[in-house]
């Protein structure tokens, strides 16, 4: 493909993308294919000779689109929002064209410097404590990682190194491996599965602690766990608290947990992957009270801030805890400007290579402005509130967690299996998509507001689909069961 063909095909692709996104509402939200569907549509080998791009283009609709789940459809309510916006897509295009691998400042200074500036911008937009910013006189700063999961692992490994170094001095008879075998980290029973997995990958114990009736991890629970573990000779070293849990968007109590982490010299990481974006609006910042106790904090603009995957931002108060923990410095990566006022981000992450991801964040922030991002978040929250109201107006349903962001957790009153059947009906119907969660043994459906284009009519549409599916489910359950539950004044949540 030469430059002229690139411009022609590029224009066609941009038009295809904008039509796809503007008309996405009309597509069936979930694919209708079975595993291996593509085998019969494509040859077994790569083409021997070059093909015209027009032929490739035709296959987008024929081969690709049938197997796509349309995450940016207003009918898609699964998981959490996945970021997307035109400026972000343009940022990725330019990043791909520049194609630098920005592992050090010297490999492409703009790549590092724009990341320093945009992570500071974002940190200020969220009102993070100054110590997290590159501009502060301290040792803090932000960095773009690929995912929140990778960030948790990185923080856990840095915390592990810090504690091993400390305890090797205390237990002079123990070596590094023996100290590691005593480490114990904590998280709540509501945290994302990636936190438990980080414990596995980092070869340390990770205890999941019980949450209260609001699905929030409380200080007293942590304190008791620490006391138990210390009595067994273990060394508490890490807590991953969550602001906006995956199941119900619950918030751990940082004001209680933070001081305990300080007393115990434990690393406090805050995973605010989804809900963190909302702190751009002052009215939601009360949920992050206690953030000043954190060593590290992360959010995913690729979830709820209009930036395409992958772009997760992590801030650290003392970067030396990362840089020194994993420092390898072979001669081919050194440069004469190292350590002179700009980070070499390879020390702040697990891989060596890194993309120019800050471009898409920069394009988005400049195109929307702080007010545009705030408006987007507020719109999603108000749509969630609209849906909550509709659910509560139908006496067959209940909402099981506070609706404070763009997520509503709702269920049919009564046994779990009723709501399980409801989900089956909804998925069979196929007009909308959502997923379940089980929290404290309660089976619930999660309706997340995901697409930028979702509007009030879409929410009414989604609820009408849910209602018609609920009608079908209710026919299968004898009313006597509901009456019995109502009389007993209880909800039987046992599956």
Which lies closer to ligand PLP via its Cβ, residue 239 or residue 390? 239
365-384 residues in contact with ligand PLP (CB under 6 A) are none
d(CA 451, CA 380): 9
Candidates 246, 358, 444, 454: give the one binding ligand PLP (CB under 6 A). 246
Return the structure tokens found at 16. Answer: 């295809």
Q: Is 444 in the site for ligand PLP (CB under 6 A)?
A: no
Binding mask 293-312 for ligand PLP (x = CB under 6 A): -------x-----------x
Residue 147 touches ligand PLP, criterion: CB under 6 A: yes
Shortest CB 277 distance to ligand PLP, Å: 12
Residue 433 Cβ vs ligand PLP, minimum distance, rounded to whole Å: 15
CA nearest 313: which of 109, 89, 126, 72?
126
The yes or no reply on residue 148 touching ligand PLP (CB under 6 A) is: yes
Stretch that binds ligand PLP, among 16-24, 141-149, 330-338, 450-458 (CB under 6 A): 141-149
CA 219 to chain centre: 24
Q: Cβ 273 to ligand PLP, closest distance in Å?
A: 4
- Per CB under 6 A, the list member of 84, 88, 149, 358 interacting with ligand PLP is 149
Site string for ligand PLP, 308-347 (x = CB under 6 A): ----x-----------------------------------
The smaller minimum CB distance to ligand PLP, of residues 164 and 313, is found at 313
Cβ-based nearer residue to ligand PLP, 197 or 431:
197
| Contact between 274 and ligand PLP per CB under 6 A | yes
Cβ of residue 316: shortest distance to ligand PLP, in angstroms? 17
- Per DSSP, which regions of 118-210 are E strands? 141-145, 183-188, 205-209
Burial 296-305 (b: 16+ CB within 10 A, else e): bbbbbbbbbb
Among 84, 104, 161, 192, binds ligand PLP (CB under 6 A): 192
Shortest reach from residue 270's CB to ligand PLP, in Å? 10
Binding flag, residue 404, ligand PLP (CB under 6 A): no
Closest CB to ligand PLP among 313 and 383?
313
Nearer to ligand PLP, 168 or 310 (CB): 310
- Phi, psi (degrees; rounded to nearest 5) at 223: -60, -45
**Footprint on residues 74-113 left by ligand PLP (CB under 6 A):** 79-80
What are the CA-CA distances from residue 37 to residues 68, 134, 421 (Å)?
A: 12, 49, 28
User: Which residues fall within 8 angstroms of residue 259, CB to CB, at 6 or more apart?
Assistant: 219, 293
Which CB atom, from 302 or from 421, has the smaller least distance to ligand PLP? Answer: 302
The answer to whether 144 and 358 are in contact (CB under 8 A) is yes
Nearer to ligand PLP, 148 or 321 (CB): 148
Q: Which of 447, 328, 449, 296 is nearest to 383 (CA)?
A: 449
Helix, strand, or coil here: 272? coil
Q: What is the gyration radius of the CA atoms in the chain, in angstroms?
A: 25
- Residue 88 or 312 having the CB closest to ligand PLP: 312
Please list the helix, strand and coil fractions of the chain in percent, rounded to the nearest 5, in that order. Answer: 50, 15, 35
Tell me which of 84, 88, 107, 194 binds ligand PLP, using CB under 6 A.
Answer: 194
Interatomic CA distance for residues 307 and 301, integer angstroms:
6
Give the footprint of ligand PLP on residues 215-244 (CB under 6 A).
242, 244
| Residue with Cβ nearer ligand PLP (192 or 419) | 192
Q: Are 412 and 396 in contact (CB under 8 A)?
A: yes
CB of 192 to ligand PLP, least distance (A): 3
Comparison of 273 and 305: residue with beta carbon closer to ligand PLP:
273
Q: Which residues of 417-439 are buried (b: 16+ CB within 10 A; e: fewer)?
A: ebbbbbbebbeeeebbbbebbeb
Residue 206 or 412: the one with the smaller Cβ distance to ligand PLP is 206
At residue 56, φ and ψ (nearest 5 deg) are -60, -45
| Smallest gap from residue 119 Cβ to ligand PLP (A) | 16
Q: Which helix (H) or strand (E) holds 194?
A: helix 193-201
Q: Which of 466, 438, 432, 467 is nearest to 450 (CA)?
A: 432
Which residue, 185 or 244, has its beta carbon nearer to ligand PLP? 244
Please count the residues of this chain forming the interface with ligand PLP, following the rule CB under 6 A: 16
For 356, residues 6+ apart whose C-beta sits below 8 A from its C-beta are 94, 95, 98, 100, 102, 108, 110, 111, 114
CB 446 → ligand PLP: shortest distance, Å?
A: 11
Looking at residue 295, the DSSP 8-state letter turns out to be: S
Give the residues lining the site for ligand PLP (CB under 6 A).
79-80, 147-149, 192, 194, 242, 244-246, 271, 273-274, 300, 312
């Amino acid at each position: 493909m030469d430059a002229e063909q690139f411009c022609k095909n590029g224009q066609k692709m941009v038009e295809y993308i904008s039509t796809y996104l503007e008309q996405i509402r009309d597509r069936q939200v979930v694919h209708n294919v079975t595993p291996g569907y593509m085998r019969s549509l494509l040859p077994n080998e790569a083409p021997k000779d070059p093909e015209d791009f027009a032929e490739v283009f035709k296959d987008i609709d024929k081969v690709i689109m049938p197997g796509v789940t349309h995450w940016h459809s207003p009918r898609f309510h699964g998981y959490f929002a996945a970021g997307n916006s035109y400026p972000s897509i343009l940022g990725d295009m330019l990043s791909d064209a520049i194609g630098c691998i920005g592992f050090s400042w010297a490999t492409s200074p703009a790549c590092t410097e724009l990341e320093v500036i945009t992570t500071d911008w974002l940190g200020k937009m969220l009102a993070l404590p100054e110590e997290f910013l590159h501009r502060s006189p301290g040792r803090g700063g932000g960095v773009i990682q690929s995912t929140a999961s990778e960030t948790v692992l990185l923080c856990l490994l840095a915390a592990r190194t810090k504690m091993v170094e400390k305890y090797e001095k205390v237990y002079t008879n123990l070596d590094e491996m023996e100290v590691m075998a005593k480490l114990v980290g904590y998280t709540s029973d509501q945290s994302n599965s990636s936190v438990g997995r980080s414990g596995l990958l980092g070869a340390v114990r990770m205890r999941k602690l019980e949450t209260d009736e609001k699905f929030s991890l409380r200080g007293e629970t942590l304190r008791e766990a620490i006391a138990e573990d210390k009595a067994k000779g273990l060394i508490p070293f890490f807590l991953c608290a969550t602001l906006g849990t995956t199941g119900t968007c619950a918030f751990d109590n940082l004001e209680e947990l933070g001081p305990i982490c300080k007393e115990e010299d434990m690393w406090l990481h805050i995973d605010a992957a989804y809900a963190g974006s909302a702190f751009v609006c002052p009215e939601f910042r009360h949920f992050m009270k206690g953030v000043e106790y954190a060593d590290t904090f992360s959010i995913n603009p690729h979830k709820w801030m209009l930036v395409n995957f992958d772009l997760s931002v992590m801030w650290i108060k003392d970067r030396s805890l990362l840089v020194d923990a994993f420092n390898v410095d072979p001669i081919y990566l050194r440069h004469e400007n190292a350590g002179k006022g700009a980070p070499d981000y390879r020390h702040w992450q697990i891989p060596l290579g890194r993309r120019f991801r800050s471009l898409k964040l920069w394009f988005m922030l400049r195109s929307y402005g702080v007010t545009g991002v705030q408006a987007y978040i507020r719109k999603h929250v108000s749509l969630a509130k609209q849906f909550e109201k509709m659910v509560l107006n139908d006496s067959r349903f209940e909402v099981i967690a506070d609706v404070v962001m763009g997520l509503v957790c709702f269920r049919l009153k009564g046994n779990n299996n009723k709501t399980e059947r409801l989900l089956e009906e909804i998925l069979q119907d196929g007009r909308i998509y959502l997923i379940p969660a089980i929290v404290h043994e309660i089976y619930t459906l999660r309706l997340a507001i995901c697409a930028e284009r979702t509007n009030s009519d879409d929410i009414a549409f989604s609820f009408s689909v849910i209602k018609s599916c609920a009608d079908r489910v209710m026919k299968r359950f004898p009313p006597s069961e509901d009456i019995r539950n109502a009389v007993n004044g209880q909800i039987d949540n046992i599956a």
